Amino acid sequence: MTTRGRPRAFDREQALQTALIIFWEKGYDLTQVADLTAAMGIKPPSFYAAFGSKQAAFNEAIDLYLRTAGSKIIHVLEHTPQVKDAIRAMLSESIHTALDAPAGGCLLVLGLIHRTPDNAQLCQRLENIRRSNVDSIRSRLQRGVQEGQLDATHVEGVTQLISTVLQGLSLRARDGATRGELELAVQAAMRAFEAVAGGKKRASLP
């Protein structure tokens, strides 16, 4: 006599990993609960018991992204000793992350595009994270000034340049740009960085 095996236990962490991939690939608005439950291999009641709502699942997916793929970009920015190398390493890591994505690009840039009354809170959260990344770039450049690695005069301009390139890499990756094309963009950005930033501090920041 054979006995029926126990149903496989629900692995919530694995389900969240799956949700991250689906949201990253399709975006929040186009992802339906049916897409998530099908990918997770569960029924809607189990999904709602585990996550509460699609919005809550997306929030948790953002948290997971920030702990994993998203953390690497800021980590290399903050921990690479020379500021020029830190900026290059951050942009290179961004290329790697964008090309590794299920559909290309960055979840923080492309996960939710159109603001509506229903998703306004999520849109604001992503905007705040992107602004925080800009602040991280600015802080790293200011540290470079304090260490005498670059000129203080153009910190804000360079901050805006590098931030725009960083987000632009994600969009270009989603459109099918190759690694070589994205690396050419980084090389051009670094030449511009070197042209305006200089290598010697001429003024101190307040």
Per-residue pLDDT tens digits for 19-65: 999 999 999 999 999 999 999 999 999 999 999 999 999 999 999 99
CA distance 44 to 57: 13
Q: At residue 4, does pLDDT exceed 70? A: no
Mean pLDDT of 186-202: 78
Identify whether residues 27 and 84 lie together within a single domain.
Answer: no
Identify whether residues 118 and 51 lie together within a single domain.
Answer: no
> Which residue from 5, 8, 111 is spatially nearest to 64, judged by alpha carbons?
111
Q: At residue 12, does pLDDT exceed 50? A: yes
Asked, for residue 205, whether it belongs to a domain, the answer is: no
Q: What angle do CA 19, 110, 55 make, to 5 degrees?
A: 45
Give me the number of domains the chain comprises: 2
Identify whether residues 53 and 117 lie together within a single domain.
Answer: no
CA distance 28 to 34: 13
pLDDT score at 198: 63
- Give the largest Cα separation in the chain, rounded: 85
Identify whether residues 40 and 111 lie together within a single domain.
Answer: no
Identify whether residues 98 and 175 lie together within a single domain.
Answer: yes
Q: At residue 1, does pLDDT exceed 80? A: no
Give tens-digit pLDDT for 179-188: 999 999 999 9
Identify whether residues 161 and 88 lie together within a single domain.
Answer: yes
Q: At residue 83, does pLDDT exceed 50? A: yes
What mean pLDDT value characterizes the chain? 90
Identify whether residues 105 and 183 lie together within a single domain.
Answer: yes
pLDDT score at 164: 96
Identify whether residues 79 and 34 lie together within a single domain.
Answer: no
List b or e across 8-46, with b for residues whose CB sees 16 or more CB atoms inside 10 angstroms: eeeeeeebbebbbbbbbbbbbeebeeebbbeebebeeee
Judge whether 33 and 54 are in contact, CB under 8 Å: yes
Asked, for residue 192, whether it belongs to a domain, the answer is: yes
Identify whether residues 80 and 169 lie together within a single domain.
Answer: yes
**Percent of the chain's residues with pLDDT above 90:** 79
Torsion of CA 203, 158, 75, 89, to 10 degrees: -110
Q: pTM to 2 decimals?
A: 0.87
Q: Which residue has the higher pLDDT, 201 or 183?
A: 183
Q: What angle do CA 148, 153, 157 make, to 5 degrees?
A: 115
Q: Residue 94 CA to chain centroid, in angstroms?
A: 8
Judge whether 199 and 190 are in contact, CB under 8 Å: no
CA distance 13 to 160: 36
CA distance 119 to 129: 16
**Percent of the chain's residues with pLDDT above 70:** 91
What is the CATH number for 119?
A: 1.10.357.10
Contacts of 50 (CB under 8 A, 6+ apart): 10, 12, 15, 42
Identify whether residues 105 and 182 lie together within a single domain.
Answer: yes
pLDDT score at 58: 97
Identify whether residues 119 and 53 lie together within a single domain.
Answer: no
Residue 27: left (phi > 0), alpha (psi -120 to 50), or beta?
left
Identify whether residues 120 and 29 lie together within a single domain.
Answer: no
What is the CATH number for 24?
A: 1.10.10.60
Question: Could you tell me the two tokens for 198?
Answer: 């200089």
Determine the structural domain holding residue 145 and report its residue range: 69-197
